Amino acid sequence: MKSFMSSILGLAFVAFALVTVQPLAADDVTVNIESVVVQDFDDSAAQPWFVMGSKFATEGFPKVAYVNSWPLAVFGSNPANKDNLNALGVAMLFDRREYNWVDLVPGKKSGTGESTTYEPVELPLPGRVSAIDLWIWSPNFSYYIEAYIRDYKGIVHVIDMGELSHVGWKNFRINIPSSIPQSKKYLPRRESLSLVKFRIWTRPTEVAATPAPAGSPIHEKAVYFYFDQLKVLTDTFESLYDGDQLTDQDFVEKTWGSGE
Protein backbone atom coordinates (compact mmCIF):
# COMPACT_ATOMS: atom_id res chain seq x y z
CA MET A 1 0.00 0.00 0.00
CA LYS A 2 2.80 2.34 0.94
CA SER A 3 4.57 1.58 -2.35
CA PHE A 4 1.37 2.30 -4.30
CA MET A 5 0.92 5.67 -2.56
CA SER A 6 4.56 6.57 -3.27
CA SER A 7 4.00 5.90 -6.97
CA ILE A 8 0.89 8.08 -7.00
CA LEU A 9 2.69 10.93 -5.25
CA GLY A 10 5.63 10.58 -7.66
CA LEU A 11 3.37 10.87 -10.71
CA ALA A 12 1.61 13.85 -9.21
CA PHE A 13 4.93 15.60 -8.65
CA VAL A 14 6.03 14.98 -12.26
CA ALA A 15 2.70 16.31 -13.57
CA PHE A 16 3.03 19.42 -11.40
CA ALA A 17 6.58 19.97 -12.61
CA LEU A 18 5.53 19.73 -16.23
CA VAL A 19 2.71 22.24 -15.70
CA THR A 20 4.97 24.72 -13.94
CA VAL A 21 7.77 24.41 -16.50
CA GLN A 22 5.46 24.82 -19.52
CA PRO A 23 5.22 28.64 -19.44
CA LEU A 24 9.01 28.93 -19.34
CA ALA A 25 9.48 26.77 -22.43
CA ALA A 26 6.60 28.35 -24.33
CA ASP A 27 8.77 31.35 -25.22
CA ASP A 28 10.71 29.16 -27.66
CA VAL A 29 7.66 28.63 -29.85
CA THR A 30 6.13 32.10 -29.61
CA VAL A 31 5.47 33.65 -33.01
CA ASN A 32 4.29 37.02 -34.24
CA ILE A 33 3.17 36.50 -37.84
CA GLU A 34 2.84 39.71 -39.87
CA SER A 35 2.14 40.59 -43.49
CA VAL A 36 4.83 43.08 -44.48
CA VAL A 37 4.88 45.00 -47.79
CA VAL A 38 8.40 44.78 -49.23
CA GLN A 39 7.60 46.92 -52.28
CA ASP A 40 4.34 48.40 -53.53
CA PHE A 41 5.83 49.67 -56.86
CA ASP A 42 4.08 53.04 -56.45
CA ASP A 43 7.24 55.16 -56.48
CA SER A 44 9.50 54.38 -59.44
CA ALA A 45 12.29 56.61 -58.12
CA ALA A 46 12.38 54.96 -54.70
CA GLN A 47 11.91 51.43 -56.00
CA PRO A 48 13.76 51.06 -59.33
CA TRP A 49 13.83 47.71 -61.11
CA PHE A 50 15.54 46.76 -64.35
CA VAL A 51 15.21 43.82 -66.73
CA MET A 52 17.57 41.52 -68.65
CA GLY A 53 16.69 39.02 -71.37
CA SER A 54 18.26 35.86 -72.77
CA LYS A 55 20.09 35.77 -76.11
CA PHE A 56 17.08 35.55 -78.47
CA ALA A 57 15.47 38.73 -77.09
CA THR A 58 14.32 41.07 -79.86
CA GLU A 59 16.41 44.22 -80.16
CA GLY A 60 15.18 46.84 -77.70
CA PHE A 61 13.57 44.25 -75.41
CA PRO A 62 12.82 43.54 -72.65
CA LYS A 63 11.53 46.83 -71.29
CA VAL A 64 10.23 47.98 -67.92
CA ALA A 65 7.74 50.73 -67.00
CA TYR A 66 5.55 51.86 -64.12
CA VAL A 67 1.87 52.11 -65.02
CA ASN A 68 -1.14 53.52 -63.20
CA SER A 69 -2.96 50.25 -62.49
CA TRP A 70 -3.81 47.98 -59.55
CA PRO A 71 -5.64 44.72 -58.69
CA LEU A 72 -9.26 45.44 -57.83
CA ALA A 73 -9.24 42.68 -55.21
CA VAL A 74 -6.68 44.71 -53.20
CA PHE A 75 -7.74 48.34 -53.67
CA GLY A 76 -11.26 48.24 -55.14
CA SER A 77 -12.45 49.89 -58.33
CA ASN A 78 -12.16 53.54 -57.22
CA PRO A 79 -9.63 54.00 -54.39
CA ALA A 80 -9.11 57.47 -52.97
CA ASN A 81 -5.41 57.45 -53.90
CA LYS A 82 -5.87 55.91 -57.35
CA ASP A 83 -3.66 58.51 -59.05
CA ASN A 84 -0.72 57.35 -56.93
CA LEU A 85 -1.19 53.60 -57.39
CA ASN A 86 1.25 52.03 -59.82
CA ALA A 87 2.26 48.57 -60.96
CA LEU A 88 5.55 47.39 -62.43
CA GLY A 89 5.14 46.51 -66.11
CA VAL A 90 7.43 44.27 -68.17
CA ALA A 91 7.39 44.07 -71.99
CA MET A 92 9.13 41.02 -73.44
CA LEU A 93 9.63 39.82 -77.01
CA PHE A 94 11.82 37.14 -78.59
CA ASP A 95 12.84 36.34 -82.16
CA ARG A 96 12.21 32.62 -81.83
CA ARG A 97 10.52 30.04 -79.64
CA GLU A 98 12.83 28.62 -77.04
CA TYR A 99 13.29 28.35 -73.29
CA ASN A 100 13.78 32.11 -73.20
CA TRP A 101 13.85 34.11 -70.00
CA VAL A 102 13.53 37.64 -68.63
CA ASP A 103 14.97 38.65 -65.26
CA LEU A 104 13.32 41.33 -63.10
CA VAL A 105 16.06 42.67 -60.84
CA PRO A 106 15.73 45.18 -57.98
CA GLY A 107 18.47 47.78 -57.97
CA LYS A 108 19.45 51.40 -57.97
CA LYS A 109 19.63 53.76 -60.93
CA SER A 110 22.36 56.25 -61.76
CA GLY A 111 22.64 58.81 -64.55
CA THR A 112 20.13 59.77 -67.22
CA GLY A 113 19.50 59.06 -70.88
CA GLU A 114 22.10 56.91 -72.63
CA SER A 115 24.42 57.17 -69.62
CA THR A 116 21.88 55.52 -67.32
CA THR A 117 23.31 52.59 -65.37
CA TYR A 118 21.72 50.09 -62.99
CA GLU A 119 23.26 48.24 -60.09
CA PRO A 120 21.57 45.17 -58.59
CA VAL A 121 20.52 45.64 -54.96
CA GLU A 122 18.97 42.63 -53.27
CA LEU A 123 15.83 43.26 -51.24
CA PRO A 124 16.10 42.25 -47.56
CA LEU A 125 13.13 40.17 -46.40
CA PRO A 126 12.34 40.97 -42.75
CA GLY A 127 11.89 38.38 -40.00
CA ARG A 128 11.71 34.65 -40.57
CA VAL A 129 9.82 34.46 -43.84
CA SER A 130 7.25 31.72 -44.27
CA ALA A 131 5.78 32.90 -47.61
CA ILE A 132 6.22 35.42 -50.43
CA ASP A 133 3.06 37.06 -51.76
CA LEU A 134 2.79 38.86 -55.11
CA TRP A 135 0.04 40.00 -57.51
CA ILE A 136 0.72 39.30 -61.20
CA TRP A 137 -1.28 40.34 -64.28
CA SER A 138 -1.00 37.96 -67.22
CA PRO A 139 -2.38 37.85 -70.79
CA ASN A 140 -2.73 34.05 -70.51
CA PHE A 141 0.57 32.91 -72.02
CA SER A 142 1.88 29.49 -71.01
CA TYR A 143 4.96 30.88 -69.29
CA TYR A 144 6.07 30.40 -65.69
CA ILE A 145 7.91 32.40 -63.02
CA GLU A 146 10.59 31.71 -60.41
CA ALA A 147 11.89 33.57 -57.36
CA TYR A 148 15.60 33.63 -56.50
CA ILE A 149 16.24 33.84 -52.75
CA ARG A 150 19.65 34.17 -51.06
CA ASP A 151 20.26 32.82 -47.54
CA TYR A 152 22.82 34.12 -45.03
CA LYS A 153 25.42 31.61 -46.25
CA GLY A 154 25.31 33.20 -49.70
CA ILE A 155 23.50 30.29 -51.35
CA VAL A 156 20.81 31.26 -53.89
CA HIS A 157 17.69 29.09 -53.86
CA VAL A 158 15.37 28.93 -56.87
CA ILE A 159 11.69 28.62 -55.94
CA ASP A 160 9.02 27.82 -58.52
CA MET A 161 6.18 30.34 -58.17
CA GLY A 162 3.87 28.73 -60.70
CA GLU A 163 2.26 29.09 -64.10
CA LEU A 164 1.39 32.42 -65.70
CA SER A 165 -1.37 30.98 -67.90
CA HIS A 166 -4.16 33.03 -66.36
CA VAL A 167 -6.19 36.10 -67.37
CA GLY A 168 -5.84 39.43 -65.57
CA TRP A 169 -4.66 39.85 -61.99
CA LYS A 170 -3.96 36.81 -59.83
CA ASN A 171 -2.46 36.47 -56.37
CA PHE A 172 0.62 34.25 -56.08
CA ARG A 173 1.75 32.97 -52.69
CA ILE A 174 4.70 30.61 -52.34
CA ASN A 175 5.92 28.99 -49.15
CA ILE A 176 9.58 29.24 -48.23
CA PRO A 177 10.93 25.68 -47.79
CA SER A 178 12.07 24.86 -44.26
CA SER A 179 15.34 23.62 -45.79
CA ILE A 180 16.37 27.24 -46.43
CA PRO A 181 18.17 28.36 -43.24
CA GLN A 182 16.98 31.54 -41.54
CA SER A 183 18.75 31.14 -38.19
CA LYS A 184 21.87 29.69 -36.61
CA LYS A 185 22.87 28.43 -33.15
CA TYR A 186 25.11 31.44 -32.48
CA LEU A 187 24.04 34.95 -31.50
CA PRO A 188 22.43 36.78 -33.11
CA ARG A 189 20.41 33.73 -34.16
CA ARG A 190 18.11 35.20 -36.80
CA GLU A 191 19.57 35.48 -40.29
CA SER A 192 17.35 37.17 -42.85
CA LEU A 193 16.83 36.19 -46.48
CA SER A 194 17.10 38.51 -49.47
CA LEU A 195 15.30 38.56 -52.82
CA VAL A 196 17.78 38.46 -55.70
CA LYS A 197 15.32 38.59 -58.63
CA PHE A 198 12.30 37.10 -60.38
CA ARG A 199 12.69 35.18 -63.64
CA ILE A 200 9.95 34.66 -66.25
CA TRP A 201 10.47 31.62 -68.49
CA THR A 202 8.91 31.02 -71.91
CA ARG A 203 8.42 27.57 -73.44
CA PRO A 204 9.22 26.37 -76.97
CA THR A 205 5.66 25.02 -77.15
CA GLU A 206 4.22 28.54 -76.67
CA VAL A 207 4.44 31.53 -79.00
CA ALA A 208 7.22 34.01 -78.31
CA ALA A 209 5.14 37.03 -79.37
CA THR A 210 1.53 38.16 -79.31
CA PRO A 211 -0.15 37.15 -82.60
CA ALA A 212 -0.71 40.29 -84.67
CA PRO A 213 -1.34 41.15 -88.36
CA ALA A 214 1.69 41.49 -90.60
CA GLY A 215 3.17 44.96 -90.46
CA SER A 216 1.80 45.69 -86.97
CA PRO A 217 3.96 47.95 -84.79
CA ILE A 218 6.32 46.07 -82.56
CA HIS A 219 4.57 47.09 -79.34
CA GLU A 220 1.51 45.12 -80.48
CA LYS A 221 3.64 41.99 -80.76
CA ALA A 222 5.22 42.25 -77.31
CA VAL A 223 4.04 40.16 -74.34
CA TYR A 224 3.22 42.15 -71.21
CA PHE A 225 3.14 41.24 -67.54
CA TYR A 226 2.44 43.49 -64.55
CA PHE A 227 3.39 43.13 -60.88
CA ASP A 228 2.05 44.71 -57.72
CA GLN A 229 2.11 44.45 -53.91
CA LEU A 230 5.20 42.37 -53.15
CA LYS A 231 4.75 41.17 -49.56
CA VAL A 232 6.08 38.56 -47.17
CA LEU A 233 4.31 36.60 -44.46
CA THR A 234 6.90 36.62 -41.71
CA ASP A 235 7.54 35.90 -38.03
CA THR A 236 9.04 39.00 -36.40
CA PHE A 237 9.17 37.64 -32.82
CA GLU A 238 12.53 37.52 -31.07
CA SER A 239 13.04 36.07 -27.59
CA LEU A 240 14.63 38.46 -25.11
CA TYR A 241 17.56 37.36 -22.98
CA ASP A 242 19.97 38.93 -20.52
CA GLY A 243 22.38 41.02 -22.59
CA ASP A 244 20.46 40.93 -25.87
CA GLN A 245 21.42 44.56 -26.54
CA LEU A 246 25.02 43.43 -27.07
CA THR A 247 24.07 41.88 -30.42
CA ASP A 248 22.44 45.07 -31.72
CA GLN A 249 24.18 46.00 -35.00
CA ASP A 250 24.38 49.69 -34.14
CA PHE A 251 26.05 48.84 -30.83
CA VAL A 252 28.53 46.47 -32.48
CA GLU A 253 29.40 49.01 -35.17
CA LYS A 254 29.84 51.85 -32.67
CA THR A 255 31.96 49.76 -30.31
CA TRP A 256 34.05 47.66 -32.66
CA GLY A 257 33.73 49.22 -36.10
CA SER A 258 36.26 52.01 -35.63
CA GLY A 259 39.24 49.67 -35.97
CA GLU A 260 40.91 51.14 -32.88
* Lowest-confidence region among 11-25, 74-88, 137-151, 189-203: 11-25
Give the architecture (CATH level 2) of 30-256: Sandwich (2.60)
Per-residue pLDDT band at 6 (split at 50, 70, 90): low
**Residue ranges per structural domain of the chain:** 30-256
Q: Is the pLDDT of residue 254 over 70?
A: yes
Residue 121 has a pLDDT of 94
Report which of 126, 151, 113 is spatially closest to residue 231, judged by C-alpha positions.
126
**Confidence (pTM):** 0.80
Q: Is residue 57 predicted with pLDDT exceeding 90? A: yes
Q: Where are the alpha helices (DSSP H) in the chain?
A: 2-25, 72-75, 218-221, 249-256
Whether pLDDT at 251 is above 50: yes
Q: How confident is the model at residue 244 (pLDDT cuts 50, 70, 90)?
A: low
Pairing between β-strand 63-67 and β-strand 87-92 as defined by DSSP bridges: antiparallel
DSSP strand E in the chain: where?
Answer: 33-39, 49-53, 63-67, 87-92, 101-110, 117-120, 123-125, 128-139, 144-150, 156-163, 167-175, 193-201, 223-235
Specify the range with the lowest mean pLDDT, choosing from 154-163, 186-195, 205-214. Answer: 186-195
Residue type, 185: K
Q: What pLDDT digit, counting tens, does each position of 122-154 carry?
A: 999 998 999 999 999 999 999 999 999 999 999
Query: What is the model's pLDDT at position 137?
Result: 98
pLDDT tens digits, 63-72: 999 999 999 9
